[in-house]
Structure 1
Amino acid sequence: MAGSTAPLHLDALGPGGPYRTQARETVHDVTGRPVAELSVVPRLYVRRALAALRRAETPPLDERTAALAEAGRLFATAVIDGMSVERYEHTVARVSGLPVSVVRQATGTLATGLAGAYGFACQARPRGSRDVSAGAGTARWIRRGAVLSVLVAGNHPAIHTQWVEALALGYRVAVRPSRREPLSAHRLVTALHEAGFGTDHVVLLPTDHGVADELVAGGDLALVYGGDTVVDKYGSGTTVLPHGPGRSKILITADTDFTRHLDTIVDSIGAHAGASCTNATAVFVEGDPAPVAEAVADRLARLPSLPPEHDDAALPVQRLDEARNLEKYVRAEAAGATALLGGDTLVDDLGDGAAVLRPAVFRVDRADAPQTRLEMPFPCAWIAPWSRADGLGPLRDTLVLTALTSDHRLVSRLLDEPTIRNLHVGDHPTHVLTPGLPHDGYFGEFLMRGKTFTPPPAP
């Protein structure tokens, strides 16, 4: 951390303001050096905080939107808790291992997301509820509850752009930050308080895993990030919205010259250091996948190995022991696949206790190979053959699919497939999502519902 060696104190941010607990968790950087002390709150504190959120009154819409825009400005430009935005970005890069350029881009994304939160949320509003003219009856768009609990992931700072939409719609929000990278959530909640949101409207509650369940149960609704276990645990309910692995994909049909789209393919895999759920992890090729695999491997091999705070860094960094363990896991899962890149090693030791995760490209021999469902926190692509006989099966369960094809009938089938949540056709990388368009459906679809309101007859 530039300019300081003393660990930061990341206090809980409850209804009574900052709260420094005796129980704390050390946040380390990618070399294992302590960077911050995160206060961890007990179960009783969570219950009291949720009760305070429930008692609070929602501020008017114009106050909420103004405060959100101001919070975005503060987050992206101001000194918050003694930390400039430059120091924040440097520290997040050192803690998360994401390249600092990715963190800087996320700062801008968050500022834009906060300023436009209400408008983005209202993209989900039914047309019938927009007409509030007097009459025998109208449709109103109302909240499904008062309090939203959020269990945030730490893979990318821009992940916070989603839950702020709930504040825009009038929810009070309790956020459990990632214990891996809590700095972004702490800075954001502090900025929201400084911009005018009450400490009983949005709180930061770092907890252990056991108390996290209490936080989910205590909210009217909950947004939870995690792996397949999280989806399995909460997927059948109606009050918890789970976000699991993206398993984003690319499809290249035989009528397409892939060399004309190589930039899109490589960018889909490698942008954001391959750490986002919208990065492509599988590429399906109608025909011989070998030329595609070789071309992608050649391009990804050129990415440099640099510390995360370096301006030219493009790959994620982890502690050396964690990187070695991940390498062992990938090698075990890749049994039977042909390595085009990463077959020798995925780990590039930086010599300070940290290591760069180098890209990996593997070719598998069938479309339903289990490896095509394996999502890694670095650029790792599985290139598979695909034929019309394989159908849509291998392409299902996909957050984003980019289809490089001129087959309009196939595009129609892909568009109708409900488990493909976003579809791009042509040169549009999987990770590029337009603000205001749904990411995994509109968040407002989960937070709100339509309600008929018939006013009393005029006297």
Structure 2
Amino acid sequence: MTAGSPAPIVEAFRRGAWRTSLDTAPLPGRGESRFGLALVPEIVAASDRRWWDATGRHTPFAATTLAPGSRRELLLFALDLFEHGTVTVGGLGTQSAGAFHQALEEVGGVPRPLATRWTGMLRESLRSREVPRPDGALALVALPGNTFTCLESVLAQAERSTGVWVRPSRREPLAAARLIGAMLAAGWPPELIGFYPGEQRVLHGLIRLTDRQIVYGGAGLARSVRALDSLTLHGPGRGCALVPADLPVAEAVEWLLPLIAADSGRFCSNVRTVVCVDAPDGARQDPEPLATALAAALDAIHHPHTDVRDAWPFVAFREPGAVEMIQGVVRDRLRPGDRILTRRPPALVGGTYDVYARPQLALLDGHFTHPDAHPLIGHEVPFPFAAVLGAAPDAVKAITADSLFVYHPAKRGPA
């Protein structure tokens, strides 16, 4: 974009074509000239569902039931285009890979090393899944804004369903829009894919209008979504790591650091709680030595794009006040006696519109002997953060029961 030029509007894709909308919303980003996003009202989506039933589901692709293996070949080709090609995105025109990465960093704060890693994860996820037998459903995938790796659900539903509607996050819709463009360029029938940005309230309408739903969101969304047999809700992972008493501190830090800091702490599988487990004979494990060493290691990750290990770049926050807000929530959840052990300032300002949340680590006061919930246990934020505590076996069971990702050092992966 040049100074003074109108902000480009990322269009919706519906009824087989990119389309503008009277309803738009600005996207986060640098400077005054930002991208905008076309919004699809619920009444329009309802009309599109009627069109789908009458016309969309009867396209040649759907009628001939393209072999599952052929679908995968098309999707792998689309991922190659997504990563390296030039594709058409409604409202943005032809978009090269370089232009995509530039836009992704301007809007979502995602640096190219992370985008490259996440694209590789999408490809590996697609290749490793069993090829499903397609059915006649119209699926909805409602995406989060923390990472575009959740596009794996779009790919999975494209293989399984006759049609897929994608509702992107308004914090970062660019990766989803580019995947739509890549699928179209690869030869995916346009009638069988949709891109439906919308207000939060429209999500509930999209859920009602579709046959199968994959929805990503936090606890608040989980409480607001009506339970349906057809709906799969991906909520907080509340990742935790169990550190045995006989594991040397240096080894524990080496093991834990990537679990906390990788992918800018944005995955539901990142570790949020580090539990120093009592010894089998009942002797308590003091969590402070590990917490102190781990905080120092997190403090050493200091550059916004590449740290000293060239492994864990940070994602910038584009929304004004977002870093202060999420770090304020952490502070509000501290109880008397809890301490933040990381020493570096929690926010790093790399420029007028480049604000990064540095990793933080809290040492929780007291020894947890029963399932007494602490508000920081399992608390998820979109940056590297973990709480360290000592716990007896009963408390460990309560914590792990509430976690989707439990890590053990012997396994070096989630249970």
> What TM-score results when the alignment is normalised by the length of structure 2?
0.85
Asked if 1:20 is matched to 2:20, the reply is: yes
Structure 1: state its 5+ residue gaps. Answer: 126-140, 405-424, 434-459
Instruction: Letter of the 2:411 partner, please give it.
Output: G
Q: Which moved more, 1:16-25 or 1:63-72?
A: 63-72
Q: Tell me the equivalent position of 1:132.
A: none
Q: Tell me the equivalent position of 1:165.
A: 156
The answer to whether the 8 A contact 1:305-1:358 is kept is no
The answer to whether the 8 A contact 1:347-1:355 is kept is yes
Q: Tell me the equivalent position of 1:398.
A: 403
CA distance in 2, matches of 1:111, 1:345: 37
CA distance in 1, matches of 2:312, 2:77: 31
CA distance in 2, matches of 1:235, 1:363: 37
Asked if 1:386 is matched to 2:371, the reply is: no
The answer to whether the 8 A contact 1:53-1:202 is kept is no
Q: How does 1:135-154 map to 2 (within 5 A)?
A: 143=135, 146-154=137-145
Deviations along 1:126-176, one digit per CA (max 9) or x if unpaired, are xxxxxxxxxxxxxxx774x51111111111111101231111123311111
The answer to whether the 8 A contact 1:150-1:216 is kept is no
Which of the residues 277, 290, 301 maps onto 2:288? 290
Q: Tell me the equivalent position of 1:304.
A: 302
Instruction: Letter of the 1:324 partner, please give it.
Output: E
CA distance in 1, matches of 2:23, 2:294: 47
Which of the residues 261, 266, 280 maps onto 1:275? 266
Deviations along 1:404-432, one digit per CA (max 9) or x if unpaired, are 2xxxxxxxxxxxxxxxxxxxx4333x5xx
The answer to whether the 8 A contact 2:142-2:166 is kept is yes
The answer to whether the 8 A contact 2:237-2:404 is kept is yes
Structure 2: state its 5+ residue gaps. Answer: 89-93, 278-284
Q: How does 1:304-453 map to 2 (within 5 A)?
A: 304-306=302-304, 314-319=313-318, 321-336=321-336, 337-341=338-342, 345-364=345-364, 365-367=366-368, 368-404=373-409, 425-428=410-413
The answer to whether the 8 A contact 1:150-1:175 is kept is yes
Question: Secondary structure of 2:27's partner?
Answer: strand
CA distance in 2, matches of 1:196, 1:351: 41
Question: Secondary structure of 1:25's partner?
Answer: strand
Question: Secondary structure of 1:241's partner?
Answer: strand
Q: How does 1:66-145 map to 2 (within 5 A)?
A: 66-81=73-88, 82-114=94-126, 116=127, 120-122=129-131, 143=135
Instruction: Letter of the 2:57 partner, please give it.
Output: A
CA distance in 1, matches of 2:303, 2:412: 28
Q: Which moved more, 1:54-63 or 1:69-78?
A: 54-63
Question: Secondary structure of 2:376's partner?
Answer: helix
Question: Secondary structure of 1:224's partner?
Answer: strand
Identity %: 22
C-alpha distance 253-307 of structure 1, shift in aligned 2 (>3 A): closer
The answer to whether the 8 A contact 2:78-2:179 is kept is yes
Q: How many residues align?
A: 385
Q: Which moved more, 1:251-260 or 1:280-289?
A: 251-260
CA distance in 1, matches of 2:226, 2:244: 33
Give, in angstroms, the shift of residue 244 of structure 1: 0.8
Q: Tell me the equivalent position of 1:453.
A: none
CA distance in 1, matches of 2:227, 2:276: 34
CA distance in 1, matches of 2:100, 2:134: 37
Give, in angstroms, the shift of residue 24 of structure 1: 1.1
Instruction: Letter of the 1:340 partner, please give it.
Output: L
Asked if 1:56 is matched to 2:57, the reply is: yes
Instruction: Letter of the 2:66 partner, please give it.
Output: P
C-alpha distance 389-146 of structure 1, shift in aligned 2 (>3 A): closer
Deviations along 1:259-287, one digit per CA (max 9) or x if unpaired, are 22422201000000111111101100021
Give, in angstroms, the shift of residue 9 of structure 1: 2.9
Instruction: Letter of the 1:326 partner, please give it.
Output: I
C-alpha distance 9-105 of structure 1, shift in aligned 2 (>3 A): same
Deviations along 1:332-391, one digit per CA (max 9) or x if unpaired, are 11243111015x741122341432111111011344422112111101110010222434
The answer to whether the 8 A contact 1:346-1:360 is kept is yes
CA distance in 2, matches of 1:245, 1:324: 21
The answer to whether the 8 A contact 1:248-1:282 is kept is yes
Instruction: Letter of the 2:83 partner, please give it.
Output: A
The answer to whether the 8 A contact 1:50-1:174 is kept is no
Asked if 1:9 is matched to 2:26, the reply is: no
Higher RCO (Cα < 8 Å, 6 or more apart): 1
The answer to whether the 8 A contact 2:8-2:34 is kept is yes
Q: Tell me the equivalent position of 2:166.
A: 175
Q: How does 1:203-218 map to 2 (within 5 A)?
A: 203-218=194-209
CA distance in 2, matches of 1:88, 1:6: 18
CA distance in 1, matches of 2:109, 2:374: 30
CA distance in 1, matches of 2:313, 2:5: 26
Question: Secondary structure of 1:35's partner?
Answer: coil
Instruction: Letter of the 1:107 partner, please give it.
Output: T
The answer to whether the 8 A contact 2:263-2:312 is kept is no
CA distance in 1, matches of 2:391, 2:32: 46
Instruction: Letter of the 1:50 partner, please give it.
Output: R
Instruction: Letter of the 1:204 partner, please give it.
Output: F
CA distance in 2, matches of 1:208, 1:235: 18
Q: Tell me the equivalent position of 2:282.
A: none
CA distance in 1, matches of 2:33, 2:326: 22
Question: Secondary structure of 1:392's partner?
Answer: helix
Q: Tell me the equivalent position of 1:190.
A: 181
The answer to whether the 8 A contact 1:362-1:381 is kept is yes
Instruction: Letter of the 2:129 partner, please give it.
Output: F
